[in-house]
Structure 1
Amino acid sequence: MEAIEKILGFKYSDSKKYDRLLELDCMLYTNLGTDSTKKEGQEVKTKSRKIYQAIRTLDTERWQLTAKQLGQSFIDAMDKK
């Protein structure tokens, strides 16, 4: 996904990149509606997984805290799908 690469390429701090990636993920899910097809839902899940993989590459204390809060099992489950 180009937007992920673009965000990671910016000369922002890791914290700001983290925020932008989560913002992007939020927008994807917000744009899904009751009229969305299953295919569109699957595409959003795939993009979301890529976003979280990109977040994982950012070595920040904030990500480590979030990973603990969300639970490592959730992240592992997302990677397996």
Structure 2
Amino acid sequence: MDYTNNDIDKIVQFKTWTDKKKIDELLRIDAAMYCALGTDSTKAERSEVKRKSQEIYRAIRKVHKPTGDMFLMDVDRR
């Protein structure tokens, strides 16, 4: 099943998934959002993807704090 950014909270709550699988799926969603951006994407679309990306990284922090913090620090530098 393909999950989207609407499923972030659901993925974090999965009891049968390992932390690694949760993080992998969240990062796959993040990568898919950035891949969907193109040269014709507006500034608003890019900002929306960045905002959703931060939401994903905060969810990763719930699963594994050091990894989530690392991603959030990187986003803050951009």
Deviates more, 1:29-38 or 1:6-15: 6-15
Runs of 4+ in 1 over 2 A off after TM superposition: 72-75
User: Residue 51 of structure 2 aligns with which residue?
Assistant: 46
Q: Is the alpha carbon distance of 1:46 and 1:60 closer, same or farther for their aligned partners in structure 2, counting shifts above 3 Å?
A: closer
1:22 aligns with 2:27: yes
User: Residue 10 of structure 1 aligns with which residue?
Assistant: 14
CA RMSD in angstroms comes to 2.6
TM-score of the two chains, using structure 2 as the length reference? 0.75
Which residue of the other structure, out of 35, 38, 41, is the alignment partner of 1:33? Answer: 38
Task: Give the Cα separation in 1 of the matches to 2:18 and 2:32.
Answer: 21
Structure 1 runs not aligned, ≥5 long:
none
- Per-residue CA deviations over 1:25-77 (Å, capped at 9, x if unaligned) read 0000000001111111110000000001111111377x38x93xx6x7425x2
**% identical equivalent positions:** 43
1:9 Cα deviation from its structure 2 partner: 2.2
TM-score of the two chains, using structure 1 as the length reference? 0.72
**How many residues are matched?**
72
